[in-house]
A and B are shown apart, each in its own frame.
Chain A
């Protein structure tokens, strides 16, 4: 089986605090991996290492077999690492559509040359991006919100927009940081459906989530982390039913 993501001996510490301790993780295309563990276990730090927000002290991160350690954050996104944030980090002064349009892997609008002398190319890229954005919003039944200021949406819908914006990146890897925190009702159903569809389309997905039923419904495999270490890697049911892990999780 070919792995979309493979980390080898990943280490990271901040002074005396170890946030990542010899982490070896693999995710295959089409797989939804659950990443669970108590607060401070190093789950988000692992996402930050994979997406390039942080540089590891040692170890290798491979995307489709190719080491991406040296690539900065923005270039990893272009290589196909898409992610969401626990606190969404939406562009708050912009509309939903504007949020979406900044997000394609290759966006010509950031190049001063292309927006001044390559206008035709920019226009066609904009058109393509707009179509893609509408299609994604439509799947979430949020197309009607396209021209609304993103801060006018209720919390659950903002969470969905965070996912929708990440989906503008059509790369092979998707990292979801607590997508369900604070989300309920219709948004919950939508989130689950869309994440499942993305996996079916062949993406490798990793979800950090405290909502155990969400993990149980979506993932077949999960990883339990504590103190920057992977303690157990296996079928979800096995992890959830483990009393040792439950005790660790609740700090008993």
Chain B
């Protein structure tokens, strides 16, 4: 049960990550790969606060999220000022640079990671309580984003992605909208990082490598970019499959490469059969996801 609970928490955390990434890249059309680094900022800041201060955990998580938001604004304000395409390369550099910094600073635990994060909840109810918190937050994230993109705000985002020049010439401030979308998405990733830290009590820089960017992107693309529930489907699928094949009792020499092969196969199959993702539609919804 403990094991399944942990997987459930992990899935909920990745739903939050994938949904917020989908807001940025799927709806906002902002090509960034640095989502895991905002996850990391949330995780490290709240972890360090938990170790060195007596702040209540929710406050630590919120401060971590605020730091992720601020960092995202720094990145976006400089990269988007040049041009939208610049964000992709700037975000990659930002991610690699910050990760190097984390690996080389003493107070973050360096390459060995940050351990000794105090347990806030002890006893047998620990995992169920965390599971409940994570699931509620995941549901709240998915539905809040859905509500946001369904209303006038979502209409403005779609218009901006369709024709930014015409959008601006109608009196809309595209730059500030992009910054807001980016900051919200990255702030939510920071919250996911905080929950991760408090539950697992240990974080290592390896978890936030570019491979993570690929994993979260795959979840979003597989589920359906620019759809409200696509990231949920993607996150569940990508986290459940590796767990499921462990039940096959295969020898480790086969198991390890199996996961990579299955992921690659999935992506290839989807590219051919459902390029808009599982929940993505052809036609109108697909166009609004910016895939055509």
Binding site for B on A (CB under 8 A): 51-53, 72-75, 77-78, 83, 85, 89-94, 98-99, 101-110, 112, 115, 122, 126, 149, 165, 168-169
Contact = CB atoms under 8 A, between A and B. Distances in A.
B159 interface: yes
Contact of A93 (B169, B184, B287): B287
Q: Chain B interface residue count: which class?
A: 20 to 34
A110 B177 contact: yes
Contacts of B153: 109-110, 112, 115
A110 B167 CA distance: 11
Interface in B160-194: 162-163, 165-174, 177, 180, 184
9 contacts: A74-B169, A77-B170, A91-B166, A93-B284, A93-B288, A102-B172, A109-B151, A110-B177, A115-B148
A107 B152 contact: yes
A99 B184 CA distance: 25
A36 to B, nearest CB: 23
A75 B284 CA distance: 31
B192 to A, nearest CB: 20
Interface of B: 148, 151-153, 155-156, 158-159, 162-163, 165-174, 177, 180, 184, 284, 287-288
B152 A89 contact: no
A115 B151 contact: yes
A77 B171 contact: yes
Given A94-B288, A112-B180, 19 more contacts: A51-B169, A74-B171, A74-B173, A77-B172, A83-B169, A89-B165, A92-B162, A92-B163, A93-B284, A93-B287, A101-B155, A102-B167, A107-B152, A107-B170, A107-B171, A110-B172, A115-B152, A169-B170, A169-B171
A64 to B, nearest CB: 17
Given A51-B169, A169-B171, A92 B287 contact: yes
Contacts of B148: 112, 115
What is the predominant secondary structure among interface residues of chain B facing chain A?
Answer: helix
A122 B150 CA distance: 14
A145 to B, nearest CB: 16
B72 to A, nearest CB: 15
Contacts of B156: 102, 107, 109-110
Contacts of A73: 168-169
A99 B167 CA distance: 10
B15 to A, nearest CB: 22
Contacts of B180: 112
B6 to A, nearest CB: 34
Contacts of A92: 162-163, 287
A51 B169 CA distance: 7
A228 B170 CA distance: 26
Contacts of B173: 74, 110
